[in-house]
Amino acid sequence: MKALILAGGTGKRLWPVSRRKQPKQFKPLLGKKSLVKSTYDRIKKGFKTGDIFISINQEQRPGIIAELGKSVIKNLIIEPEKKGTAAAIGLACARFKPDEIIVTVNSDQFIGDVGEYLRVLKRAEQAVKKYPEYLVLIGLKPAYPETGYGYIKLGRPIDKIGRDQLFNISGFKEKPNLATAKRYLKSRGYLWNPACFVFKAKVMLELFKKYLPAQYQVLAEIKKQPAKLKSEFKKIKKISIDYGIMEKADQMLCLPAAFDWVDVGSWQTIHQILAGHGSKNVSQGSYVNIDSSGNLVYSYSGKLMATVGVKDSVIIETEDAVLVCPKNRSQEVKKIVEELEKRGWEKYL
């Protein structure tokens, strides 16, 4: 099995630290290692280095080499421009042998129990070998009623692979409101969707042919004539793998799992990982607080940070920007980046 680390994202919700050429996955947001380095080291514990591939866009090539070393160059799958997760996965499938089994791995996730995580990936590989025409999705048992994740709705159980039960997939549910998320938690029929997919390359390409035929024609041309990568790739319409393929495909199975997992998608998430759900302040750099709690305070320029009476807020300071927002609105940081793009303030992007 080949591991495909998807590292081409931009991380707009983690501005001002995450920038276009140095997005969140290249930053040490949860410790001394960058997110992508942590992901690569985690996967290395269960895969040979020659079986680990990294999908990035052209702008990010220097950053990924700086993080992982020159030895990864031969295993980079580089998009000439960013076109969404469908294009990234499709391009990888066009490079691999038809019967190769692939697992997609996001570069911006926190995994608690690495041993169990790797065990589940190997179990999913076994499931694909037994059901080669199917996609196998990892589903995670919700730990609490999360409104920021997508959910997999389980269908009927169909088989066991070792001690693990395989289910049909009844459908997908996007980010629910709190009341719905609480109902999902109680029902046990809904799992978090961490976008961890296991499949044969040729099966995924057949799904492109069926549901994204224009993309399929581009990928087929690139596979036939690799020198046309740049000219052909620009023809692809940007779309995510979820909307383009997953929500339409019918031959899919789900393997429920229970390892600790968090999608590092916002500043609130980072506070949650480092502090739990309590009111502890989390800081990086010099920080003095008076009567303040539940804050995430990061200084990347070395300036002293100080708060008085500030609660449940995000305060992020870099050399050229300062972000301040309520922690529960940190998903909206993406809107700041969109506004900067509208104004043409490229130096802040």
pLDDT (0 to 100) of residue 10: 86
Beta strand segments in 241-312, E: 252-257, 261-263, 282-284, 287-290, 296-299, 305-308
Who contacts 20 (Cβ-Cβ below 8 Å, separation ≥6)? 10, 59, 349
Count CB-CB contacts under 10 A for residue 146: 18
pLDDT (0 to 100) of residue 161: 94
Helices (H), the chain: 35-44, 61-68, 85-95, 114-130, 178-187, 201-211, 213-224, 229-233, 241, 267-275, 333-343
Residue ranges, the chain, pLDDT below 70 = none
Q: Write out the two tokens for 206.
A: 């057949």
Beta strand pairing status for 101-106 and 197-200? antiparallel
Give the gyration radius of the chain's Cα atoms.
Answer: 21
- Over residues 205-233, the pLDDT tens digits come to 999 999 999 999 999 999 999 999 999 99
pLDDT (0 to 100) of residue 213: 97
Domains and CATH numbers, the chain: 2-133+195-249 (3.90.550.10), 267-348 (no CATH)
Task: Return the amino acid letter for 282.
Answer: V
